[in-house]
Amino acid sequence: LAEKLGLSGFGPNGFGEGQPFVRGEDLYLKEVANLAFGDKKPDPAKGEKGESVPDANDEEVRLFLEARRHLPKTVFDPAGWQAAVGQEWWRRVIYVLNRGGRFQDWSQAIKGTQVANKYGKCINLYCEKTYDVKDSLSGAHWSGVARYFPAPTDALGRLLADEKDGYDLHLITYREIVQTKSRTSGNYWLQALLPENFVLMNSQDAARLGLKNGDVVRVSSKTNPTGEWDLGNGARWPMVGKLKVVEGIRPGVVAFSLGHGHWAYGGTDIVVDGQTIKGDPRRITGLHCNAAMRTDPHNPNTCLRDLVGGSAVFYDTKVKVVRV
């Protein structure tokens, strides 16, 4: 697009005469070369060698090239990559890329009994600006120092105890690398890798609740006891999906990944000008449990929240998981 618009700094001479900027690697390989150089240049007069990494030896170069021999030239062009950084820096770039970055030698991390890389700025253990602000509901000052507050609480600081009503599992969320955003539901290449998501549960909880891997379960909470999304148009969408029993989650905690569990995005039929456009059910697989997130009993139209920072509280909702 930049080339089409004729913007300066792009095109065959984007970095100067004979130095193109027509592909991403024309830039990022130069950034790797900058990383390979370090923060200090050599100063022979002072006997300082600088901070440049060493050249990759012949064996490292061979490994680097052999590991990419299956890639087409449009993805990996050794001559083009070398031209992007120049002959002088090519082997040093390979040295950094082979290691996945540049790292300080462990022996330089400690100086005496202290860390060598010290944080050289002021750390405020007491934040006066935070203390000066008052809670608009209680009138009390916010704490100016770090403190532990039991959770979960409502906006008035009152502890909630939903586990007394049988909601004894903490609900958390995470992202799958192949379905990180809601808008990727229509990407069929990604859908093939992970057609649906799951409710993750530890084997101890599964045994206690009489559940097994693959069971279809419903997630509900104190403020959403039916375990449904209210779509606002008279329709409801259940928070129902398959259970996956794993050891990699703490007992007492259940999790679901974001990105699945849609009810629109071309997944259901819609009518436009009297014509029905058929939905593709592949786009609405899995479940999404945000509607189970606990709302604040003092402000029932909002979720629990961190009143100081203003963010939503995602990890203090207690839920039930039952077989459908």
Residues 6+ apart with CB under 8 A from 268: 279, 284
Quick one: DSSP state of residue 192? Answer: H
Beta strands in 45-151 (DSSP E): 110-111, 114-115
Q: What is the pLDDT of residue 180?
A: 80
Q: What is the pLDDT of residue 34?
A: 96
Of the candidates 193, 185, 200, 214, the one whose C-alpha atom is nearest the C-alpha of residue 279 is 185
Q: What is the pLDDT of residue 186?
A: 86
Q: Rg of the chain over CA atoms, in angstroms?
A: 28
Domain ranges of the chain: 1-123, 158-323
Tell me how far apart the alpha carbons of residues 70 and 65 are, in angstroms, rounded to a whole number.
Answer: 10
Of the candidates 128, 248, 141, the one whose C-alpha atom is nearest the C-alpha of residue 200 is 248
Location of structure tokens 């920072």:
309
Q: What is the pLDDT of residue 179?
A: 87
Q: At what angle do helices 24-37 and 78-85 cross, to 10 degrees?
A: 50
Question: pTM score > 0.75 for this model?
Answer: no
Reading the chain (324 residues) residue by residue, the pLDDT tens digits are: 999 999 999 999 999 999 999 999 999 999 999 999 998 888 888 877 788 999 999 999 999 999 999 999 999 999 999 999 999 999 999 999 999 999 988 888 999 999 999 888 888 899 999 999 999 999 999 999 999 989 999 999 999 999 999 999 999 999 998 888 777 888 999 999 999 999 999 999 999 999 999 999 999 999 999 999 999 999 999 999 999 999 999 999 999 999 999 999 999 999 999 999 999 999 999 999 999 999 999 999 999 999 888 899 989 999 999 999
Of the candidates 309, 303, 306, the one whose C-alpha atom is nearest the C-alpha of residue 171 is 303
* Fold (CATH) for 158-323: Barwin-like endoglucanases (2.40.40)
Q: What is the pLDDT of residue 255?
A: 98
